[in-house]
């Protein structure tokens, strides 16, 4: 396993600690590889959860085989990564996919439409190009995913939403440093979940009453003290 860059070890018996430390001292090449690490870790025992953080400096990750039992995958802090490929029948049981701090990634993972059991796609600190494609030309590839969360670093005022976001069911702005919501938010007629937790908002406009399908509104940790009259129209809340 000369290409392994990160390993987590738990439930180690006290009698084995010395041998383990000696073995770790003999390991080399633990960081910044230029080849796809997936070709090496697929030979390891079946994974259920896999987190790849700054694992190598290549531009492409290709999931071509294995990972039959994987349910959760995190890809984080790949500075040069610009393409993710998921081949058909790979990761058939994946339920959660998180992509974080991969700013060179401009398109959705190729083959994501094959992940028919995927329940959650979480995009955090991603490029504007990727965000816009998610809600436009690439939306047919991800529309089967019940929960799509895209979190960017916002300015103090969120001036607009991405074009093509009218079909959003979940809008999660937790901890975003915004003090105002754009009018487009109140035109999201399919919106079920609106998370404004710990934003800088001081009030909600009466137009929130347009969100007739809204089921959850989270304003914990905001400066909102009173709710507008329009909130009474939200019978599903």
Each residue of 73-107: pLDDT tens digit?
999 988 899 999 999 999 999 999 999 989 999 99
Judged against a pLDDT cut of 90, whether residue 207 lies above it is answered with yes
| Residue 11, in any domain of the structure | no
Indicate if 98 and 168 belong to the same structural domain. no
Domain boundary among 153, 182, 212: 153
**Mean pLDDT, all residues of the chain:** 80
Indicate if 129 and 38 belong to the same structural domain. yes
Q: What is the pLDDT of residue 29?
A: 39
Residues 158 and 176: beta-carbon distance below 8 Å: yes
Indicate if 149 and 168 belong to the same structural domain. no
Mean pLDDT across 149-175: 66
Indicate if 211 and 182 belong to the same structural domain. yes
Residues whose CB falls within 8 Å of the CB of residue 235, separated by 6 or more in sequence, listed in order: 212
Whichever domain contains 114, its CATH number is: 3.80.10
Q: What is the pLDDT of residue 9?
A: 52
Phi first, then psi, for residue 63 (nearest 5°) are: -90, 95
Query: Would the pTM of this model clear 0.85, i.e. be above it?
Result: no
Each residue of 175-204: pLDDT tens digit?
888 888 888 899 988 888 898 999 999 999
Q: What is the pLDDT of residue 2?
A: 46
Q: What is the pLDDT of residue 131?
A: 78
The pLDDT confidence band at residue 37, using thresholds 50, 70 and 90, is: low
3-state class of 60 per DSSP?
Answer: strand
Query: Which residues form the domain of 81?
Result: 33-153
Range of weakest confidence among 26-30, 35-39, 51-55, 175-179: 26-30
Judged against a pLDDT cut of 50, whether residue 116 lies above it is answered with yes
| Residue 138, in any domain of the structure | yes
Q: What is the pLDDT of residue 25?
A: 46
Indicate if 171 and 134 belong to the same structural domain. no
Mean pLDDT across 50-76: 86
| Residue 7, in any domain of the structure | no
- Separation CA 43–CA 52 (nearest Å): 16
């Amino acid at each position: 396993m000369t290409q392994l860059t990160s390993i987590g070890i738990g439930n180690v018996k006290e009698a084995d600690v010395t041998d383990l430390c000696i073995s770790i001292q003999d390991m080399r090449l633990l960081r910044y590889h230029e080849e796809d690490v997936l070709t090496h870790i697929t030979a390891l025992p079946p994974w259920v959860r896999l987190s790849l953080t700054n694992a190598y400096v290549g531009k492409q990750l290709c999931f071509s085989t294995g990972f039959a039992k994987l349910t959760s995958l995190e890809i984080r802090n790949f500075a040069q990564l610009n393409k993710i490929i998921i081949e058909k029948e790979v990761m058939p049981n994946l339920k959660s996919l998180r992509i974080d701090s991969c700013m060179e990634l401009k398109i959705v993972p190729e083959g994501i439409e094959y992940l028919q059991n995927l329940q959650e796609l979480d995009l955090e600190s991603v490029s504007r190009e990727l965000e816009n494609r998610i809600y436009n030309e690439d939306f047919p590839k991800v529309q089967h995913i019940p929960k799509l969360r895209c979190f960017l670093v916002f300015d103090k005022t969120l001036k607009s939403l991405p074009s093509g976001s009218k079909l959003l069911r979940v809008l999660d702005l937790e901890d975003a440093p915004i003090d105002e919501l754009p009018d487009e938010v109140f035109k999201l007629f399919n919106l079920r979940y609106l998370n404004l937790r710990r934003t800088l908002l001081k009030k909600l406009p009466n137009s929130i009453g347009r969100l007739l399908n809204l089921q959850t509104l989270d304003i914990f940790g905001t400066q909102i003290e009173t709710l507008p009259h329009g909130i009474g129209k939200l019978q599903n809340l």
